[in-house]
């Protein structure tokens, strides 16, 4: 398993980590199998989405902010309930097939780390399974 570290700069942001994940796949030398990417944080998530138009990230963050506002009378004392809810919707892991040593992603897809309670230093775990 490989760990990558991410330093976020905003409360809410989506960071394309596709290149870092591809590097781990290359270094593992696995030709065919699975790439499992896991975020061990309750106020961050991971998703696969469009990587061609930067506006998609902004739109996703904007809509999540509308449907899950930062301050909405939540009971959680730490004041970051919105981040926990957003992370639940996004999820904490993705699994991508590896074929011929490459991630099997659609033409416009990328893997995104989603920060909902930043800025922070975060970790992402990547496990390549030979198969």
Name the residue among 47, 21, 45 with its Cα closest to residue 128. 21
What pTM was computed for the model? 0.96
Q: What is the CATH number of the domain that holds 110?
A: 2.60.120.460
pLDDT of residue 131: 87
Strand-pair partners of 115: 13, 44
In order along its 131 residues, the chain shows pLDDT tens digits of 999 999 999 999 999 999 999 999 999 999 999 999 999 999 999 999 999 999 999 999 999 999 999 999 999 999 999 999 999 999 999 999 999 999 999 999 999 999 999 999 999 999 999 98
Instruction: Please give the tally of structural domains in the chain.
Output: 1
Could you tell me the residue range of the domain that residue 115 belongs to?
2-130
């Amino acid at each position: 398993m490989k760990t990558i570290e991410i330093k976020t700069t905003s409360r809410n942001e989506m960071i394309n980590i596709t290149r870092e994940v591809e590097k781990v796949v290359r270094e593992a030398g696995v030709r065919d199998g699975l790439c499992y990417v896991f975020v061990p944080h309750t106020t961050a998530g991971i998703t696969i989405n469009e990587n061609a138009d930067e506006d998609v990230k902004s739109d996703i963050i904007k809509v999540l902010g509308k449907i899950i506002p930062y301050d909405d009378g939540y009971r959680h004392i730490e004041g970051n309930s919105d981040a926990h809810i957003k992370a639940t919707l996004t999820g904490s892991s993705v699994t991508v097939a590896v074929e011929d040593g490459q991630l099997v992603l659609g033409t416009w897809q990328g893997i995104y780390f989603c920060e909902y309670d930043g800025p922070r230093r975060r970790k992402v775990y990547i496990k390549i399974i030979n198969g």
